[in-house]
Chains A and B, each alone.
Chain A
Amino acid sequence: MLFNSFEFLVFFIIVTGLYFLLPHKFRWAMLLIASCIFYMFFVPIYILILFATIIIDYFAGIYIEKFEGKKRKYLLVVSLISNIGILAFFKYFNFFIDNLNSIFQAVNWNYSLTLLSIILPIGLSFHTFQAMSYTIEVYRGNQKAEKHFGIYALYVMYYPQLVAGPIERPQNLLNQFHSKHKFDPYLFSNGLKQMLIGLFKKMVIADNLAPYVNTVYDNPGNFEPITIFVATVFFAFQIYCDFSGYSDIAIGASRIMGIELMQNFKAPYRAISISDFWSRWHISLSTWFKDYLYIPLGGNRVKLARLCFNLFLVFMVSGFWHGANWTFVIWGALHGFYTIAEILINRYINKNEVQNIKLNFLITGLKRVVVFYLVCFAWIFFRAESVSKAIFIAKEYLIAIPSYLHHLTQKGYLWLEPLIFKKDIRLNFIDFALLGLALVALFYINKVEYKTKFISYLDSKPLVLKWGFYQVLILLFFVFAAFHSKQEFIYFQF
């Protein structure tokens, strides 16, 4: 069930209504049943996989708490292996076989292993990581094992964040299921606002950018470098609005019921460094990797060479987590490379603090542009279907601006001509202007979000301004939302 569907609207109204109508002791059961229905809208049979991991992790948690010494470790290993095993089988088995077959072919060994015809269970990477964080936290003693099987199952299956996060920690989410939540009109209106912003990001911005990006990325050879550059920038906003839009809807839907999910995005494209970007982009995943991989590897308290290795490894794994394709691995590696380069630059270049405020402002702006340029470059590998296509696009991306400036001065064509009047791109100047306006509005929201939460910021404004903003947003949503496209959320594939 997609958040941007009519089915979800009906589902949401019924579930939220029932939640407040039922006594507290029955709510977990209702939410669990609702979550099962939500999940079974995709591939119903896969719910059995989810149940299998839930049972394993539930008992693992209880016995890890009960036992002492090595037994606890063994139980943790069993739990982690079963989770990773399922993830590896469904997500990476065919990738592994495919690569093995390529190697066989390369060494002229006439042998080919058969690929399995399996579909990746939706949101597998997300709920696997969430389940793993539970057993790890119980093992570390940061979380008590959950004795109530239904509530533990709900922790893994809670419908707002089941298929695309935020990847929650038991310390935050599990305890909230035990607490009694009364209907709070403030949370109700706040949650609805968050959902509206999320739907706007997804259906107005992301889904309207998608056709341009898809057209260019499907046949990049048909387009000029500047068109490819713009499509890449558009993709950066598409994926941001798509994924953060999903998170907003999940957080808002949950907040209405009084259950607070963690913030997943915080104005990532205003980051002034790559490490800053990762503290603002998909926060629940980056902190997961930090807590459960980076710090166990030694964190910052290791020698420089080891630190670089650790960072590179974490980003490679992060890339691989996103998808079983070399393009994702390269995307992760690029971010690893950026981060290492950033650390080296910060260590070896003498940092002269600029005192001039105006200059500081300019430098910060420049940093943002550079970070955004680099992040967009990495997005090419995330979006392209194959490495060869990504390399072609990357080359065009790098030469785009100089080539565009050259054409402008030499050929004198209209500045928008290569962007909108090209074959298959059905955008005219008005569309372009509207998309531009939407992105400017997004920049403004991000500017606020850089310091505080946008809804809280708006709540502090006079009523006319506050209501005016939401009314305009609703009207714009109805006029421009891509209801017809019914595009899935990009992160559903992971």
Chain B
Amino acid sequence: MKIFIKIFIFFCITYIGLFALNFFYEKKVKSIYIEKPSYIISCSNKNYDYVVGGSSRVHNNFNANLFDSLTNLNGFNIGYEGSAMAQNYLTLYLFLKNGNTTKNYLQQVEDNFLMDPKVAFTYPFQDYFFMPYIGDQTVDDCYKRNVPLIKFYLWKYVPFLKYAEFNNYYGLKKIVSPTKVDSDMLKFKGYDKLDVKQKDGFPAPRYDEINNTVAVDESNIYYLNKIRELCLNSHINFIIYSSPLYQKSYLAYKPKNLHSALMKFIISNNIKYFNFMVTPTYLKDSLFYDETHLNSIGTNLFTTQLADSLKENLKK
């Protein structure tokens, strides 16, 4: 019996130790800069005319400074690499929750954004970005839908486990001596320019083997609708746009049912939509960095076209 009590006390001390570590990390992590997503979801009291959210096709293909100069507005590019719809929702939710405001929210959605995230993204739900916010009901709901339940409950109830598992992201070094906010990221308002020089191996159509019909993942529509509701409740003008795709790949791919699912959602909710996916301007290889991203020349061209199209539709 005595040894059982000793083991129990030992585990209690371990729990307290981990709890203290978790407390220390939690406080620090929310206030330091790790990467762009951590900045977006932790910054506070910023007031913008617009923010634009989405994946790398926003992060690398939306020149916020150029857009500002063309529209006389002040905005920020909050898109980041590999983010699927659930992440876009959580990012906007936390961004607004921290006291930031925006009059307009632009969401990038292409047809293939509606596919099963496990197929369309290398890391379907980048759970580690939102670890410090576990405990918030909205964040928890999102985790429960996107990660195995057992993992979620372990992260929630075993102190520090969530930071331990992702200590490559939440490394002690970053916590103890945090880096300054990336000045380029601030200077370019979240836009990360891609080289004019194309990626090795471009062009290489990747979608040939995929059938013409691809199942729509309902969770994407679910989170797109959550974004719409969030904007509605926050009195934000919600706009969806589709950025240009490398058409030799896209046309071979022809995921017609995906596009009709997107259109069905847009029409039924009466959302303003601007489609640049198959615009003839973007037939030139020289505008692309790879199959899914414009290079800096293509980005500037697209940002200008988008600004022209949106001018009359943005809330001032």
Contact = CB atoms under 8 A, between A and B. Distances in A.
Nearest to A468: B13
B135 interface: no
B157 interface: no
A481 interface: yes
Interface in A217-273: none
Which size bracket describes the interface of A in this complex?
A: 20 to 34
Contacts of A188: 7
Chain B interface, DSSP helix/strand/loop, else mixed? helix
Contact of A479 (B3, B6, B21, B151): B21
Contacts of A485: 168
A276 interface: no
Contact of B14 (A471, A481, A484): A471
A482 interface: yes
A86 to B, nearest CB: 38
Given A481-B167, A483-B165, A484-B168, A475 B7 contact: no
A484 B164 contact: no
Interface in A171-188: 185-186, 188
Contact of B164 (A430, A467, A483): A483
Contact of A189 (B3, B14, B167): B3
B207 to A, nearest CB: 29
B164 A478 contact: yes
B21 A478 contact: yes
B10 interface: yes
B187 interface: no
Interface in A453-494: 467, 470-471, 474-475, 478-485
Contact of B18 (A428, A430, A475): A475
Contacts of A424: none
Interface of A (DSSP majority class): helix
Contacts of A291: none
Nearest to A463: B6
A483 B173 contact: no
B99 interface: no
Interface string A426-451: 00101100000000000000000000
Nearest to B175: A479
B172 interface: yes
A374 B18 CA distance: 42
B17 A474 contact: yes
Contact of A484 (B3, B7, B165): B165
Nearest to A185: B3
Contacts of B7: 185, 188-189
Contacts of B10: 467, 470
Contacts of A186: 3
A188 B10 CA distance: 13
Contacts of A479: 21, 164, 167, 172
Given A467-B10, A471-B13, A478-B160, A483 B172 contact: no
A428 B10 CA distance: 35
Nearest to B18: A478
B274 interface: no
B166 interface: yes
Nearest to B1: A185
Contact of A471 (B17, B165, B166, B173): B17
A258 to B, nearest CB: 15
A475 B167 contact: no
Contacts of B161: 478
B14 A483 contact: no
Contacts of B13: 467, 471
B21 A480 contact: no
B14 A474 contact: yes
A484 to B, nearest CB: 4
A234 to B, nearest CB: 19
Contacts of A431: 173
A421 B172 CA distance: 20
Contacts of A471: 13-14, 17
A431 B176 CA distance: 13
Contacts of A470: 10
Contacts of A481: 164, 167
Contact of A475 (B3, B21, B165, B168): B21
Contacts of B166: 483-484
Contacts of B163: 478
B175 to A, nearest CB: 9
A479 B172 CA distance: 7
A479 B20 CA distance: 13
A474 B172 CA distance: 15
B3 A483 contact: no
A482 B17 contact: no
- A-B pairs, top 3 by smallest CB distance, nearest first, are A185-B3, A478-B164, A484-B168
20 contacts: A185-B7, A188-B7, A189-B3, A430-B173, A467-B10, A467-B13, A471-B14, A471-B17, A475-B17, A475-B18, A478-B18, A478-B161, A478-B163, A478-B164, A478-B167, A479-B167, A481-B167, A483-B168, A484-B165, A484-B167
Interface of A: 6, 185-186, 188-189, 428, 430-431, 467, 470-471, 474-475, 478-485
Given A481-B167, A484-B167, 12 more contacts: A186-B3, A431-B173, A467-B13, A471-B17, A474-B17, A474-B18, A478-B21, A478-B160, A478-B161, A480-B172, A482-B167, A482-B168
